[in-house]
Structure 1
Amino acid sequence: MNPTSAECPPTTLAELQALAEHSRRGESTAPRLSAKALALLDALLATPETTGLSSISQLGERQGVHPSSLTRLARALGLPGFKAFQALFREGLASSTFYSTRAERLLDFGEVPGTSPSADQDQALWQQEMTNLSATVASLDDDALQQAVEAIVSARRVHVVGLRASFGAAHYLAYYLDYLRDGVQQVSLQAGVGVEQALRLDGDDLVIGIAFRPETRASLDYCRLARERGARLVALTNHPGSQLAGLTECCLIAPAEGPFFFNPMSSLFLLAELLLSRVARELGGTAVASIRQREALIARLGVE
């Protein structure tokens, strides 16, 4: 019996990826997919987060196909329908093998999604990052950005939390916010600062949460507890369907698609720069005075 029949469909994202490769090679045990169906499957596999978190109508619009095409594709793969197909992506995003699965597709299968085998892979990565940056600006919610700026300016204290892959962006944002105003702290487990510190927060405080999929549980726990304590939350994430985005109405999205082993981060740093620029303009002379005070201290201490 064909191993891709309804009795033996793929049960993991890795199996689905392998199945796509077998079908592309025309192996006898693989499902017979048309060129259009295979191209659709490749496009969905190239953007696992979007595929796992979007509705069927959103995916259809994104791929330029009718939603029924997604259902037919799922059934051709031996799955009962789109929900079962999408569940493979969601389980893959939540698993500890998120990055290895992505790397396997790029390396073992010898391909970069969305490019021909002869394309310059470095050029493809650069082009996709430019697309991410353009998408960040094009889809930017200016009201949400201004709301975030006002919250940063008015908060008694600002806690910036972003762990693991998001740590660098969290450090960048917290470091320069501290130039502009007092009461800014980066939450870092490396410094022995745990989730319990959120217990000190209340309605006068702000938490800026940064998390890309796969989202770090400690970051989410900190943000949830802060919200329970009444603190405001600004979220920086790469998908509106992320868990972090679900905790607040003030969410800034940094699209992060592309043929890269890990999470492309250029768009996230762009969001941080936009926030810093707006906050500096909002504070005006107060920001300038704060920066000069910091610079004077640096000069006095001989910090290089």
Structure 2
Amino acid sequence: MPADNVDLPPRRYADLQLLALRARRGDAADLKLSAKGLALLEALLAQPEAVSLSGISQLAQHHGVNPSRLTRLAHALGLEGFKALQALFREDLSDSAFYSTRAQRLLDFGETPRAEGDALADDRALWQQEMQNLSATVEALDTTQLAAAAASIQQARRIHVIGLRASFGAAHYLAYYLDYLRDSVHLVSGHAGVSVEQALRLGEEDLVIGIAFRPESRMSIDYCRLAVEQGASLLALTNHSSSQLATLSESTLLAPAEGAFFFNPMSSLFMLVELLLSRVAREMGHDAVLALRQREALISRLHVE
């Protein structure tokens, strides 16, 4: 980050990053932070999503401090209180500069995994983090909710699957194989000129499967919100229980995606999709086998490769 001064109070999440870096270097005389205050600020900056989506008591408990410490930190930064501090993190949550901000944080705070003398250490560390995400997904999985999600997929008249930007790959994967198993599966794709208004065609017998990781696509959220308003059911696949998508649905499957990765870790999301597909196929039993054989016969007859 540049070494330019930042006026107090900070107006953006990036300003907070710069203030923390200046304080760590000892060239922020205008910032009256104790060593513990600086450590708390750096800890918050290392987990922006948690700060954005947690209440002050929950966040204080997570960091082992009294909630008043968070209020005092906000005051030291020239802000009115914790809500004003949290607002800076929430703005970053939907900021168009999410990836560059995250990359800068990883580099400046040294959060990218490093090990001297081992050229593969960084890659192994990333693999270990993804394994932790996979384990966390399975441990947090509500099997009753997974079964209910599979049942809703079987019973729905029509299914619309939407996941844009980074989530599009998982949405395509899910829609592609659901189409093997049942009729009336539609992949919503902005690349095909699909607009939010298509959700107007949905009703009480229909299901939308929404997939959104941070930063959540506004079109995805708007599409799911409109579908719910039309009476359709919504199954949300996301990485945080307090995401915008999750707030629209009572049926949410979580795929934790933590780690020092410059982009969105997606392994847990694809595994969640695989678990959902497997459950649907298993519940369908011989009907799933018949559907697969019919699709394979068509592919063979049309010489599709």
What is the TM-score when the length of structure 1 is the normalising length?
A: 0.90
Cα distance between partner residues in 1 of 2:72 and 2:115: 28
2:269 corresponds to which letter in structure 1? L
Partner of 1:208: 209
Cα distance between partner residues in 1 of 2:275 and 2:33: 45
- Could you say what the CA RMSD is over the residues aligned between the two structures, in angstroms? 2.2
Matches within 5 A, 1:133-144: 133-144=134-145
Cα distance between partner residues in 2 of 1:62 and 1:147: 32
Matches within 5 A, 1:183-222: 183-222=184-223
2:76 corresponds to which letter in structure 1? A
Question: In the alignment, does 2:111 pair up with 1:112?
Answer: yes
Partner of 1:55: 55
DSSP 3-state at the match of 1:186: strand
Compare 29-38 and 72-81 and name the one that shifted more.
29-38
Asked if the contact 1:47/1:257 (under 8 Å) is kept, the reply is no
With over 3 angstroms needed to count, the CA separation of the structure-2 counterparts of 1:140 and 1:39, relative to structure 1, is: farther
Compare 115-124 and 194-203 and name the one that shifted more.
115-124
C-alpha offsets along residues 186-239 of structure 1, whole Å, 9 cap, x if unaligned? 111212222222121111110001111221111111111111111111011111
Matches within 5 A, 1:171-182: 171-182=172-183
Question: In the alignment, does 2:250 pair up with 1:249?
Answer: yes
Partner of 2:70: 70
Deviation of the 1:139 alpha carbon = 1.8
Cα distance between partner residues in 2 of 1:287 and 1:94: 40
C-alpha offsets along residues 14-72 of structure 1, whole Å, 9 cap, x if unaligned? 01011111122222436354554433322321221121111122222333333333223
Partner of 1:157: 158
Partner of 2:266: 265
With over 3 angstroms needed to count, the CA separation of the structure-2 counterparts of 1:121 and 1:74, relative to structure 1, is: farther
C-alpha offsets along residues 226-279 of structure 1, whole Å, 9 cap, x if unaligned? 111111110111111111111111111212222122211111112111111111
Cα distance between partner residues in 2 of 1:140 and 1:34: 41
Matches within 5 A, 1:219-238: 219-238=220-239
Percent identical pairs in the alignment equals 66
Asked if the contact 2:228/2:234 (under 8 Å) is kept, the reply is yes
Asked if the contact 2:8/2:77 (under 8 Å) is kept, the reply is no
With over 3 angstroms needed to count, the CA separation of the structure-2 counterparts of 1:171 and 1:225, relative to structure 1, is: same
Deviation of the 1:170 alpha carbon = 0.3
With over 3 angstroms needed to count, the CA separation of the structure-2 counterparts of 1:37 and 1:126, relative to structure 1, is: farther
Cα distance between partner residues in 2 of 1:117 and 1:35: 27
Q: Which runs of 5+ in 1 are unaligned?
A: none
Q: Which runs of 5+ in 2 are unaligned?
A: none
Deviation of the 1:171 alpha carbon = 0.3
Cα distance between partner residues in 2 of 1:21 and 1:28: 9
DSSP 3-state at the match of 2:102: helix
Partner of 1:292: 293
Cα distance between partner residues in 2 of 1:42 and 1:127: 24
